Amino acid sequence: MSKFTVRYGDENQLPAASGLYIVYSGATCLYVGSSKNVRRRVVKHNKKADFAANNATHIDFAPVTEAQLSDRENEAVYKLRPLLNTYAKRGKTPATARHTDAQGSKLRDVTLQLLNSRRRTLTLTQIADETGLGLGFISTFSTGKTSNPGVCSVETLYEYLSGKKLDV
């Protein structure tokens, strides 16, 4: 199966397959996402109001194996700089990818250490409220059991806990 495009509003034409989906408004990339079932994900998308507010016109689909979803999504976000993805809002660049590698992530390890050594008056709920990250993500991340957390989420958490901006 190769890449193809459907008109925004015809989400049911997307395949129930693993892959990337890219929402556009004309030539402007609004959002890049990935899913094991693209049709179901796009039909139930939590950003539909944002897509409509930005006059979404079409959705591109590209098949990707489940094992490659995260990497391919990150590559597309870096390349296309979509308006509604968190990375694009924060101005991240491809250099961010250096923080994740096969040996593990130094940034992840440092951030986990900062999180677990924070002053106890700073609750996970407060961190979630002030960073915009999900409480579930922060809670799971704090246990160290998140094998492949999103780079952007870890960066946000690091910047918040350390009080330093990452220079990537």
- Count Cβ atoms below 10 Å from residue 23 Cβ, excluding itself: 27
Report yes or no on 39 lying in a domain: yes
DSSP-H helix ranges across 44-134: 48-53, 69-80, 86-90, 106-116, 124-131
Structure confidence at residue 143 (pLDDT): 84
Q: How many CA atoms lie within 13 A of 59 on its CB side?
A: 27
Count up the domains in the chain and report the number. Answer: 2
What's the CATH code of the domain at 147?
Answer: 1.10.260
Do residues 86 and 103 both lie within one domain?
no
- What CA–CA distance (Å, rounded) separates 6 from 101? 35
Structure confidence at residue 105 (pLDDT): 62
- Among left, alpha and beta (phi > 0; psi -120 to 50; other), residue 9 is left
Residue count of the chain: 168
- What CA–CA distance (Å, rounded) separates 58 from 10? 9
Using 50, 70 and 90 to split pLDDT, how confident is the model at 97?
very low
Pair 108, 149: CB distance under 8 Å = yes
- For residues 26, 29, 34, 40, the Cα torsion angle rounded to the nearest 10 degrees is -30
Of 18 and 150, more confident: 18
Q: What's the domain range around 144?
A: 98-162
Structure confidence at residue 90 (pLDDT): 45
Lowest pLDDT segment from 19-28, 50-59, 106-115, 122-131: 106-115
Do residues 86 and 115 both lie within one domain?
no
Structure confidence at residue 38 (pLDDT): 94
Do residues 78 and 120 both lie within one domain?
no
- What CA–CA distance (Å, rounded) separates 63 from 77? 16
**Burial classification of residue 73, based on how many CB atoms lie within 10 Å of its CB (0-12 exposed, 13-18 middle, 19 or more buried):** buried
Report yes or no on 168 lying in a domain: no
Mean pLDDT of 95-110: 54
DSSP state of 45: -
- Tell me: pLDDT of 104 over 90: no
Structure confidence at residue 78 (pLDDT): 78
Mean pLDDT of 100-125: 76
How high does pLDDT run on average in the chain?
Answer: 82
Lowest pLDDT segment from 47-61, 95-109, 154-168: 95-109
* 53-96 pLDDT per residue, tens: 999 999 999 999 988 988 888 888 878 888 888 654 444 444 34
Mean pLDDT of 35-59: 92
